[in-house]
Structure 1
Amino acid sequence: MNLEALQAQIDNLNGRLTATQSAVRALIACHPNPEKAIEIVAEHLDRYAGLALAKDVPDELADAMSNADKHILPTDEEIERAQR
Protein backbone atom coordinates (compact mmCIF):
# COMPACT_ATOMS: atom_id res chain seq x y z
CA MET A 1 0.00 0.00 0.00
CA ASN A 2 1.41 3.37 -0.93
CA LEU A 3 1.67 6.33 1.44
CA GLU A 4 -1.23 8.21 -0.16
CA ALA A 5 -3.60 5.24 0.17
CA LEU A 6 -2.49 4.68 3.75
CA GLN A 7 -3.09 8.35 4.62
CA ALA A 8 -6.56 8.17 3.01
CA GLN A 9 -7.36 5.13 5.15
CA ILE A 10 -6.14 6.89 8.31
CA ASP A 11 -8.22 9.98 7.47
CA ASN A 12 -11.28 7.81 6.86
CA LEU A 13 -10.87 6.01 10.19
CA ASN A 14 -10.27 9.32 11.98
CA GLY A 15 -13.51 10.67 10.53
CA ARG A 16 -15.45 7.58 11.62
CA LEU A 17 -13.95 7.77 15.10
CA THR A 18 -14.83 11.44 15.46
CA ALA A 19 -18.41 10.77 14.34
CA THR A 20 -18.70 7.86 16.80
CA GLN A 21 -17.36 10.00 19.65
CA SER A 22 -19.92 12.71 18.85
CA ALA A 23 -22.74 10.18 18.80
CA VAL A 24 -21.70 8.67 22.13
CA ARG A 25 -21.45 12.15 23.71
CA ALA A 26 -24.96 12.96 22.49
CA LEU A 27 -26.40 9.68 23.75
CA ILE A 28 -24.86 10.15 27.19
CA ALA A 29 -25.98 13.79 27.35
CA CYS A 30 -29.62 12.95 26.58
CA HIS A 31 -29.73 9.91 28.89
CA PRO A 32 -32.38 10.27 31.63
CA ASN A 33 -29.58 10.08 34.21
CA PRO A 34 -26.49 11.45 32.46
CA GLU A 35 -24.38 11.49 35.62
CA LYS A 36 -24.88 7.75 36.09
CA ALA A 37 -24.21 7.13 32.38
CA ILE A 38 -20.96 9.11 32.67
CA GLU A 39 -19.96 7.11 35.73
CA ILE A 40 -20.54 3.77 33.98
CA VAL A 41 -18.84 4.81 30.73
CA ALA A 42 -15.85 6.20 32.67
CA GLU A 43 -15.52 2.89 34.56
CA HIS A 44 -15.47 0.96 31.29
CA LEU A 45 -12.96 3.34 29.73
CA ASP A 46 -10.68 2.97 32.77
CA ARG A 47 -10.98 -0.82 32.67
CA TYR A 48 -10.08 -1.08 28.99
CA ALA A 49 -7.27 1.47 29.31
CA GLY A 50 -5.85 -0.64 32.13
CA LEU A 51 -6.03 -3.76 29.97
CA ALA A 52 -4.25 -1.95 27.15
CA LEU A 53 -1.51 -0.76 29.48
CA ALA A 54 -1.04 -4.30 30.78
CA LYS A 55 -0.37 -5.56 27.25
CA ASP A 56 2.36 -4.77 24.81
CA VAL A 57 0.56 -2.12 22.74
CA PRO A 58 2.01 0.90 20.95
CA ASP A 59 2.37 3.98 23.14
CA GLU A 60 -0.01 5.92 20.87
CA LEU A 61 -2.77 3.34 21.43
CA ALA A 62 -2.26 3.28 25.19
CA ASP A 63 -2.23 7.08 25.31
CA ALA A 64 -5.41 7.33 23.25
CA MET A 65 -7.21 4.87 25.49
CA SER A 66 -6.01 6.62 28.65
CA ASN A 67 -7.35 9.95 27.37
CA ALA A 68 -10.53 8.67 25.73
CA ASP A 69 -12.79 10.18 28.39
CA LYS A 70 -11.78 13.68 27.27
CA HIS A 71 -13.19 12.92 23.82
CA ILE A 72 -16.19 10.77 24.73
CA LEU A 73 -17.78 12.15 27.88
CA PRO A 74 -20.04 15.18 27.40
CA THR A 75 -19.48 18.50 29.12
CA ASP A 76 -21.97 19.97 31.59
CA GLU A 77 -23.03 22.44 28.89
CA GLU A 78 -23.76 19.63 26.44
CA ILE A 79 -25.84 17.82 29.07
CA GLU A 80 -27.82 20.98 29.86
CA ARG A 81 -28.56 21.55 26.17
CA ALA A 82 -29.64 17.94 25.70
CA GLN A 83 -31.92 18.01 28.76
CA ARG A 84 -33.94 21.01 27.54
Structure 2
Amino acid sequence: MRLDYQQTYKEEILVEFASSVYAQVVNLVVEHKLNIHDENHFLVHLMHQLGDAKLAITDAHSLEELETTQEYWQTMNEYVKRLCLM
Protein backbone atom coordinates (compact mmCIF):
# COMPACT_ATOMS: atom_id res chain seq x y z
CA MET A 1 0.00 0.00 0.00
CA ARG A 2 1.41 3.35 -1.06
CA LEU A 3 1.04 6.30 1.28
CA ASP A 4 0.23 9.69 -0.15
CA TYR A 5 1.74 12.06 2.37
CA GLN A 6 0.20 15.14 0.79
CA GLN A 7 -3.27 13.63 1.07
CA THR A 8 -2.62 12.44 4.63
CA TYR A 9 -1.38 15.89 5.63
CA LYS A 10 -4.42 17.57 4.08
CA GLU A 11 -6.70 15.07 5.84
CA GLU A 12 -5.15 15.84 9.22
CA ILE A 13 -5.44 19.60 8.74
CA LEU A 14 -9.04 19.22 7.61
CA VAL A 15 -9.93 17.03 10.60
CA GLU A 16 -8.55 19.73 12.93
CA PHE A 17 -10.48 22.47 11.14
CA ALA A 18 -13.69 20.40 11.16
CA SER A 19 -13.22 19.74 14.87
CA SER A 20 -13.10 23.46 15.58
CA VAL A 21 -16.30 24.07 13.60
CA TYR A 22 -18.00 21.15 15.35
CA ALA A 23 -16.85 22.46 18.75
CA GLN A 24 -18.49 25.82 18.07
CA VAL A 25 -21.84 24.10 17.48
CA VAL A 26 -21.39 21.94 20.59
CA ASN A 27 -20.76 25.14 22.56
CA LEU A 28 -24.00 26.63 21.22
CA VAL A 29 -25.90 23.50 22.25
CA VAL A 30 -24.39 23.66 25.74
CA GLU A 31 -24.99 27.41 26.11
CA HIS A 32 -28.67 26.94 25.27
CA LYS A 33 -28.89 23.91 27.59
CA LEU A 34 -30.39 21.78 24.84
CA ASN A 35 -31.10 18.07 25.13
CA ILE A 36 -28.52 16.42 22.86
CA HIS A 37 -31.01 13.67 22.01
CA ASP A 38 -33.68 16.10 20.74
CA GLU A 39 -33.15 15.72 16.99
CA ASN A 40 -36.10 18.07 16.40
CA HIS A 41 -34.03 21.05 17.53
CA PHE A 42 -32.06 22.57 14.68
CA LEU A 43 -28.79 23.04 16.59
CA VAL A 44 -28.83 19.50 17.94
CA HIS A 45 -29.51 18.12 14.47
CA LEU A 46 -26.69 20.27 13.05
CA MET A 47 -24.34 19.06 15.77
CA HIS A 48 -25.02 15.42 14.87
CA GLN A 49 -24.77 16.13 11.14
CA LEU A 50 -21.38 17.80 11.56
CA GLY A 51 -20.18 14.98 13.78
CA ASP A 52 -21.01 12.48 11.04
CA ALA A 53 -19.44 14.68 8.36
CA LYS A 54 -16.28 14.95 10.44
CA LEU A 55 -15.96 11.17 10.52
CA ALA A 56 -16.40 11.02 6.74
CA ILE A 57 -13.24 13.05 6.11
CA THR A 58 -11.08 9.96 6.41
CA ASP A 59 -13.23 8.20 3.78
CA ALA A 60 -12.00 10.55 1.04
CA HIS A 61 -10.11 8.57 -1.60
CA SER A 62 -8.44 11.40 -3.50
CA LEU A 63 -7.18 14.95 -3.15
CA GLU A 64 -10.15 16.10 -5.24
CA GLU A 65 -12.58 14.58 -2.75
CA LEU A 66 -10.69 16.26 0.07
CA GLU A 67 -10.92 19.60 -1.75
CA THR A 68 -14.69 19.20 -2.06
CA THR A 69 -14.89 18.26 1.62
CA GLN A 70 -12.77 21.28 2.51
CA GLU A 71 -15.18 23.57 0.63
CA TYR A 72 -18.07 22.05 2.62
CA TRP A 73 -16.30 22.73 5.94
CA GLN A 74 -15.36 26.28 4.94
CA THR A 75 -19.00 26.96 4.10
CA MET A 76 -20.16 25.40 7.36
CA ASN A 77 -17.59 27.48 9.25
CA GLU A 78 -19.03 30.69 7.80
CA TYR A 79 -22.56 29.50 8.58
CA VAL A 80 -21.70 28.61 12.18
CA LYS A 81 -20.01 31.99 12.66
CA ARG A 82 -23.28 33.65 11.68
CA LEU A 83 -25.20 31.41 14.08
CA CYS A 84 -22.87 32.42 16.90
CA LEU A 85 -23.64 36.09 16.27
CA MET A 86 -27.38 35.58 16.80
Shorter-chain TM band: 0.3 to 0.5
With the length of structure 1 as denominator, give the TM-score of the two structures. Answer: 0.40
With the length of structure 2 as denominator, give the TM-score of the two structures. Answer: 0.39
